[in-house]
Amino acid sequence: MARLIDIKRLKAPVITDPRGNLSFLESHRHIPFEFKRIYYLYDVPGGAQRGGHAHLNLRQFIIAISGSFDIVLDDGFERKRVHLNRSHTGLLLPNMIWRELDNFSSGSVCMVLASEYYEEHDYIRDYRQFVNLARNTNPQQDTQIA
């Protein structure tokens, strides 16, 4: 079962140029999986929240292509908030991590590289169900969610 310590901050290569910088991401080179789906969130209204789920199998790389936003991450035992605001640095999330995205700045764009195609049965959308599953898979853990 994944824990918050398994989440990695990854930097994309940056090619600097007076005309503007360029970054890129490659499967199995920068991202440790083949991405089968790429999607992005944009025009998120002020105060709105996205996410609010976990995945049974899917892994993701999440990056702020433009602007900024926060991700609240939860492994069923503890929570932490991470602020993303660099177009060359993102988070690699393993499966079974609950995520909520909020605090979107005006004009922000969140891009997600996903290890699997969309499958509704891979989503856990009920937080209590997620916590029960996470804690039953890790019975030796007894930490409280912060």
Known catalytic residues are: 53
Give the model's confidence band at 138: pLDDT under 50 very low, under 70 low, under 90 confident, else very high. Answer: low
Average pLDDT, the chain: 93
Compute the average pLDDT of residues 77-83: 97
Report CA 83 to chain centroid distance, whole Å: 11
Regarding pTM above 0.85, the answer is yes
Whether the predicted pLDDT of 76 surpasses 80 = yes
Give the pLDDT confidence of 36-63 residue by residue, as tens digits. Answer: 999 999 999 989 999 999 999 999 999 9
What pairs with residue 99 in β-bridges? 53, 73
Residue ranges per domain, the chain?
A: 30-119+127-137
CA-based R_g, the chain, Å: 16
DSSP designation for 105: P
Whether the predicted pLDDT of 142 surpasses 70 = no
Tell me what percent of the residues of the chain surpass a pLDDT of 70.
94
CATH superfamily for 30-119+127-137 is: Jelly Rolls (2.60.120.10)
